[in-house]
Each structure stands twice: as structure tokens, then as C-alpha cells.
Amino acid sequence: MVLILLRRYWFPRKSLFKYYRIKSTIKPNGVHMTSNNNSLDPKNPVPIAPIIYQVSPEDEISLVELFNIIIKNKKVFYGLFISIMIAGILFAFVAPKKFLYSVVIEVGSYKLPDNNGVLGETSPIESTKRAKTKLEKHYVVEALQKYYFKNPDAALPQIKVEAPKDSNILIVATKGVDDDDSKIDLISDIADELVMDHLRLSKDILEQLQQKVELQVLTVEELRANLASEKQQILLLQQNLLMVDVEVELLDKQVSRSHEDIKVLTNHRSDYIADKTQPKEAMALLLIDNEIRQIREQRDRLEQKLYVSSVNDKGLIQKRIKDGNGDLAVTKKALDNALRTLGRIGGEGVISGGVGVSAETQLNLFLNHRATAVVVDAHRSLKSVGFRRVSMLALTLLFGVVSAVFGCFVLEFVLKVRASSVD
């Protein structure tokens, strides 16, 4: 910038470049004319002579002259340089040191089971990206508002939220002077707000799992009731089957007795007819025949019941027992699966809380639940941040030299302008 100002205003304002150009005759359509005649010859156009630049020696920048300007205005140079150095030194040694105040938050995680009770992969309570946005757009803004109401005359601090890649860590940081308790309270309040918010989210997750567990327990209780009912039904069927066997045995005896009675009556009738000594009465024979017929009808009914009805009843009962055993096996399997699922979450003690252990504690253990927490409390960095004194002094020295040189050139430029305006 200094060289541009010198070139433009201090040195004599002359043309820096001169050039000569050999003109050629050009038609409006862009075709060159030959030098011998005025006929068009596209194959032999008249070339344009190259541009020749000539640099004037007077336009060159002399470093000696620039140095002479600095020597000429050495008071200005020394004055500016010393003033800037004094200001820089005072600022480096008098300005309070800045320290970094930060707090480290670890986002909690959990494992949620599927419908079969098998735990899935570890999931964060909330993604670090979303938690970072929530901190920046909500909790930091609220904290700064509260900070402003408490300290209306103080400048609002700049709060940064960092989320290291591939981690569940969040860092809330700001800068302040040494022993600045307001900064510690500020970032601590921000961290506590996120921890409380994640605690509410964790309770929602636990409530969802609690509902799953309660439904699973109801399923287990229902299956147990069904299992007991089916066992009772099978027991009744087995008792009925025993009753059928006893009935069959009784029917068999009654049928045998009927056969014997028929045989006795038949022999008695034959003996009565064969006896020549006694007169035969038709009424007596009729009574014997009627009794034989009744016994035979009774025998037929007993045999029908013995060989048909009893067999059918026994087969039906056996089939019902078989079906009942099948249903019982299915219910047992379903109950075992339900108990296995419930067992993965600590058994039925999850609902009742167990002996000396709360339901929430068992669920936390089952989920491998880790709550969001502040792993490193709000603290001040051991070393100050920002420019160190040595670096600040070096920058001050460099800035002082550049500013002093530029001030000399500007002063010379102003003097030249005034001189030219007087002339």
C-alpha cells in the first residue's frame, strides 16, 4: 500500500509506458489489405507490428530515497514507534489475563429390548448433535438472559459448545478473568439444565419399558391361569375315563348275569315242558317266555351300551385328553417364553421392586442405563489463553515499525500535496 501511494502521488506523474504501433488498413469485415495493391488477399494479411514498451528511468522506485524519507522524518518515526511500543507494553502487562472456563458433560446411554426381550445396541439418550443444538439455541440463550439481569453492566460472555467427533462428550466453555465465579456458575447452570432434561427423557424411556414389563407380567399371569385350567380339565377327563372303565366293567358283569338268567329260564322252560307228570299251563309258559324276553331286551340294551356307547364315550374322552395335552404343551411353551422374556428384565421383581431393590433400579441395571452427567465440573484452566506476553510484544514491535514507516510516508505525501497546491 505504501509503494502504491508513493508511485501514485509522490513521484512525477508521467506516462510510465510509451508505445508505437504500425497501422494497417482493415476493411469493416476484418480482412487485411496488402501493401502493394488494394485487392483483398486473405492468404497474405498485413501483420500488426508488436507493441514496444519503454520504461523511463525517472519512474523507478529508489530504496535510497525511501530510506532518506524515513531519516528526514525520524522524529515522527521515533514518536510513533515509541508510542505504539509503550501502549503495547502497557496492554501486555496491565490487561488482565484471560482463562478458559469449561465443563464436560457425558451424554447417557441405554439398551432397549425388542419384543422378545433381547437387548439391542447401545443408544444415546439423545444424539450429541441434537444435544449441542439444544444447548446453543435454548439453554445458552436462557443462561445469558439470566446473566444479563444479574450483571446488567457487564459484557455478555461468548459461550461455545463443542462436540468432539465419535464421542458422547459435550464441552461448554467461555473465557473470563481469574477467579470469575460468575462464569463458573453460568456454565454450571447450562450443564445442569441439559442433565435435568435428559433425566426427564430417561424417565420416559423407563416408563415405556415399565409398561412393556407390566404387559408381559399380565401375559404370564394369563398363561398360568390357562395352564391351571387346562390341567384341571385334563384331570377331570382322566377321572371320567376311569368312570367309563368302571361302568364298562359293571356293564360286562350285568351282561354276563343276563346271559346266565336267560340260560336258567330257558332250561327251566325246557324242563317244565319235558315233565309229563305235571299238567301244563299256558299261563305259566307265557310268564316264562315273557320273563326271558325282558331279560333278553335288557341284555341287548346293556350290550349296546357296553360295546357302542361306552366305546364311543371312551374314545371321545381319550381324544379330548389328547387335545388337552397338546394345548397344555403349547401353553407351557408360551409360558416358558414369557417367563424367559420377563426373566431378562429381572423377573417379576421388576414390577414389585423385589426385596430391597426398587423397580427403577432393576430397570436401570437391565438397560445398562447410564444417566447424563457432568463428568468434569466447571473449572478454570491452569494456564491463561490468548496471546502470550512475548507474542504480544513481538506483534507490537512489528506493528510499531510498520506504523512508523507508514506515518513517515504519509507525512511526506501531505507536505508534497501542500507544496504543489501553493505553487
Maximum Cα interatomic distance, the chain, rounded to a whole number of Å? 195
Neighbours of 347 (CB within 10 A): 14
Residue 49 scores a pLDDT above 70? no
User: Residue 339: left (phi > 0), alpha (psi -120 to 50), or beta?
Assistant: alpha
Q: Which residues of 173-200 are buried (b: 16+ CB within 10 A; e: fewer)?
A: bbbbeeebeebbbbbbbbbbbbbebbee
Domain ranges of the chain: 1-16+58-95+389-423, 18-55, 98-216+371-384, 218-352
Averaged pLDDT, 17-36: 42
Residue 77 scores a pLDDT above 80? yes
Q: DSSP string covering 144-159, please?
A: HHHHHHH-TTSPPPP-
Query: What pLDDT sits at residue 221?
Result: 86
Residue 45: strand, helix, or coil: coil
Of 117, 85, 157, the C-alpha closest to 341 is: 117
Query: What pLDDT sits at residue 350?
Result: 45
Per DSSP, what are the bridge partners of residue 104? 171, 376
Instruction: State the Rg of the chain over Cα.
Output: 57
3-state secondary structure 65-115: HHHHHHHHCHHHHHHHHHHHHHHHHHHHHHCCCEEEEEEEEECCEECCECC
Residue for grid cell 442433565: 195
Phi and psi torsions of 398, nearest 5°: -65, -45
Q: How far apart are CA 202 and CA 367, in angstroms?
A: 11
Residue 139 scores a pLDDT above 90? yes
Q: How far apart are CA 322 and CA 315, in angstroms?
A: 10
The C-alpha cell at 306 is 357296553
Q: How far apart are CA 194 and CA 98, in angstroms?
A: 27
Residue 356 scores a pLDDT above 50? no
Does the CA dihedral 170-129-177-389 come out positive or negative? positive
Query: What pLDDT sits at residue 131?
Result: 93
Does the CA dihedral 311-314-318-319 come out positive or negative? positive
Share above pLDDT 70 across residues of the chain, in percent, rounded to a whole number = 74
Of 136, 138, 142, the C-alpha closest to 161 is: 136
Least confident range of 68-77, 97-106, 357-366, 374-383: 357-366
Q: Using an 8 Å Cβ cutoff, are 174 and 158 in contact? A: yes
Residue for grid cell 439455541: 137
Query: What pLDDT sits at residue 138?
Result: 92
Q: Using an 8 Å Cβ cutoff, are 109 and 370 in contact? A: yes
Query: What pLDDT sits at residue 366?
Result: 54
Q: How far apart are CA 345 and CA 115, in angstroms?
A: 12
The yes/no answer on whether domain 218-352 falls in CATH 1.10.287 is: yes
Residue 117 scores a pLDDT above 70? no
Mention every residue, 6+ apart, whose C-beta is less than 8 A from residue 333. none
Q: pLDDT band at residue 59, thresholds of 50, 70 and 90?
A: low
Q: How far apart are CA 309 and CA 306, in angstroms?
A: 6
Q: How far apart are CA 305 and CA 298, in angstroms?
A: 11
Q: Do you know the residue count of the chain?
A: 423
Tell me which fold the domain 98-216+371-384 belongs to.
Answer: Alpha-Beta Plaits (3.30.70)
Query: What pLDDT sits at residue 231?
Result: 86
Burial of 244 (0-12, 13-18, 19+ CB in 10 A): buried
